[in-house]
Each structure stands twice: as structure tokens, then as C-alpha cells.
Amino acid sequence: MSERIEELKWVLTDLILDLCAPAEIFRDHYSSNSFDTSSVRTIAICRMCNSHAVIALSKLVEALNGYGKEIRDFPNSLKEKVYRVKQQLEARSVYKFRSKYVAHVFDDDTKKPVDIEYGYKLLTDIVGKDISELNAFYEWLSPVEPDFDLTGSYVSTLVTVLRDHCSNLAGHGERP
């Protein structure tokens, strides 16, 4: 079991960076003088951040599923928070968007180019329809003020607490 916990620890370590980076890049651009929702640069930065966030969240879904047996042995208070975030990810259809749109040009079912309107709907279900909802998404993803007691359902904070729990169980060995 400790080998699997050690693996999970390193997966979560990588995810912390992958979850925090798009939020930081978005916030930096949003607070800059060059932020303009009609500019190609702002659109490109938002697309990059959103795509990276979705890929990272999809990896989190895979990790939570792949290490489910180990997570089931964690303290109930931690498991409840994991399941709450997992439900939020499922409700937002994160994995579906990644699988159907982010990494593809063609729809596997229709063999035609992916439907842009459908992709937009899936994206807005995840990140929101306007700048205030996009800001809220990035706050949920990686809060400006981390909530390490986990009273909220902030993704990167939960992943950090999970990683720390794994470190306590498996020790602080070297990265494989």
C-alpha cells in the first residue's frame, strides 16, 4: 500500500503546479493593463489557461479514480471533501469536455470536425459564461488565500492537503 501512496503523492505534487499555474497566469493577465476581452492576446491567454486547467482537472479525476482504493482508507473528514470536489468535477463535465473537445479536431462519433457550439457550451459549463464567472472558476481552482482547513471546496487546496496526508503516510522519499 505504501508504494501506491508514494505514487499518489507524486501525482498530487505535479497536480498542485498544474492547477495553480493557469489560475496565476489568468490573474496576472486580468490585472494587467493589456487585459481586453476583445483582444486576440487576451482570448489566447484565456484559451491556454482554460485548456491547461481542464487537462489538470481531468488528471485529478483520473487520479481520484485510479487511487480510489487508497483514498477510501483515508480519514472520513478528508474523504468527504474529496468526494465533494469529485462530484463538482463530474457536474461540470470536465472529463467529457477534455475527451470530446480539448484534445481533438474530429468528433469520434460523427467523424466530422467537433461542434464549436457544443464545445463552447461544455466549456462554459466548466469555467462560466463571463469574466466574473471565470474569476470565480479560477478562485475555485486555486484560491488567492488558500483554505487549508478545507471549509471550502477549493481544488488546489484539497490536492495539497491530500498530498501532505500521503507524505505523512508514505514518508518523504525521493521522487521516482
Can you give the pLDDT at residue 152? 67
> Can you give the CATH number for the domain in which 83 is found?
1.20.120.1060
Can you give the pLDDT at residue 164? 94
3-state secondary structure of 113: strand
Domain count, the chain: 1
* C-alpha to C-alpha distance for 132 and 170, rounded to whole angstroms: 40
- Residue 92 inside a domain? The answer is yes
Q: Which string of b and e fits 101-129 if b means at least 16 CB within 10 Å?
A: bbeeeeeeeeeeebeeeebeebbeebbbe
Sign of CA dihedral 106, 108, 109, 115: negative
Would you give the distance in Å from CA 50 to the centre of its chain? 10
- Residue 95 inside a domain? The answer is yes
- Residue 115 inside a domain? The answer is yes
- Residue 176 inside a domain? The answer is no
- Residue 141 inside a domain? The answer is yes
- Residue 8 inside a domain? The answer is yes
- Residue 96 inside a domain? The answer is yes
Per-residue pLDDT of the chain (176 residues; tens, 9 = 90+): 589 999 999 999 999 999 999 999 999 999 999 999 999 999 999 999 999 999 999 999 999 999 999 999 999 999 999 999 999 999 999 988 888 888 788 888 889 998 889 888 989 999 999 999 999 999 999 999 877 766 667 999 999 999 999 999 987 777 76
Segments forming the whole domain that contains residue 14: 2-170
- Residue 175 inside a domain? The answer is no
